[in-house]
Amino acid sequence: MQQSPIFSKTYDFILWLLHHTEKFPKHERFRMARRLEDSAFEFYELLIRATRAGRRKQAVLLDADLTLDKLRLYLRLSHARGLTTHRQYEHAAALLVEIGALLGGWLNTLSPAQAGR
């Protein structure tokens, strides 16, 4: 499987996120950090599943889009709770915007047969 940009960008985001959430206070590591990390891993896993999904590819990618929305929410909450600085939030949000654009592009490439229409 050739590595597409969405996989490498997501991998880079996860590496940054793990480094970032390690610094959360202990009580937030079991709440906010876990949700952020779990959502990021779930998103990557859905991308992998989409490469093997065949006729269900669109459905899997739409699930990935939903998971990306959850990740955005948890990132905003971590910023609102002071766990992420403004600069860190801007960096992470920019990465998620780029990843979202790549996901949207992938969805737009699906033929009607692949989309299940």
Domain map (residue ranges) of the chain: 26-108
Give pTM, 2 decimals.
0.91
Task: Classify the C-alpha dihedral 95-76-66-41 as positive or negative.
Answer: positive
Question: Where would I find the H helices in the chain?
Answer: 5-21, 26-29, 32-51, 57-80, 86-108, 112-115
* Tens-binned pLDDT, residue by residue, of the chain (117 aa): 457 999 999 999 999 999 999 999 999 989 999 999 999 999 999 999 999 998 999 999 999 999 999 999 999 999 999 999 999 999 999 999 999 999 999 999 986 655 454
**Is residue 110 helix, strand or coil?**
coil
Q: How many CA atoms lie within 13 A of 83 on its CB side?
A: 23
State the pLDDT at residue 79: 97
